[in-house]
Amino acid sequence: MLLALHAWWPGGGGAGRARLVDALVFTTGCLLPVVATAAFFALRGASGRSSKLNFLANARWKARVPPGPALRGLVRDGPLVVALAVAGLAAATRRALSLSAPGSGDALIALQALALVAGAS
């Protein structure tokens, strides 16, 4: 749905057909590793075991791993990287909120980071 929205959004750059091609190339790039992996296991007769051991086992996993220790370790081990990430997120958010750069993609970056933080807490 988001790819269709990207392809036909009136405020973005490029012609509708070029944007549709971009969306299809992106979709192909996302699906190609999944299809290649599925084909690899299917050719060896192990597609059922692969999906059972990779996806279904993970879906049944009841433990919740809190993000706090990992985030504290990231801040402790790489404070410069964290500072640069926070600065980049702040700059992207500022540009996304300004009316001078519509369609730049900064809003997507800021919203994805916000969703990541909301999901981790």
Domain tally, the chain? 2
Spans of the chain, pLDDT less than 50: none
pLDDT at 99: 62
pLDDT at 39: 92
Who contacts 81 (Cβ-Cβ below 8 Å, separation ≥6)? 74
Q: What is the pLDDT of residues 67-90, one digit of tens each?
A: 778 888 999 999 999 999 889 888
Both 58 and 69 in a single domain?
no
Both 74 and 49 in a single domain?
no
pLDDT at 61: 79
Both 58 and 76 in a single domain?
no
The three-class DSSP label of residue 33 is helix
Both 54 and 71 in a single domain?
no
CA terminus-to-terminus distance, the chain? 27
Both 28 and 73 in a single domain?
no
pLDDT at 33: 92
pLDDT at 114: 75
- Rounded to whole angstroms, the Cα distance separating 107 from 94 reads 9
Both 72 and 34 in a single domain?
no
**Range of the structural domain that residue 39 is part of:** 1-63
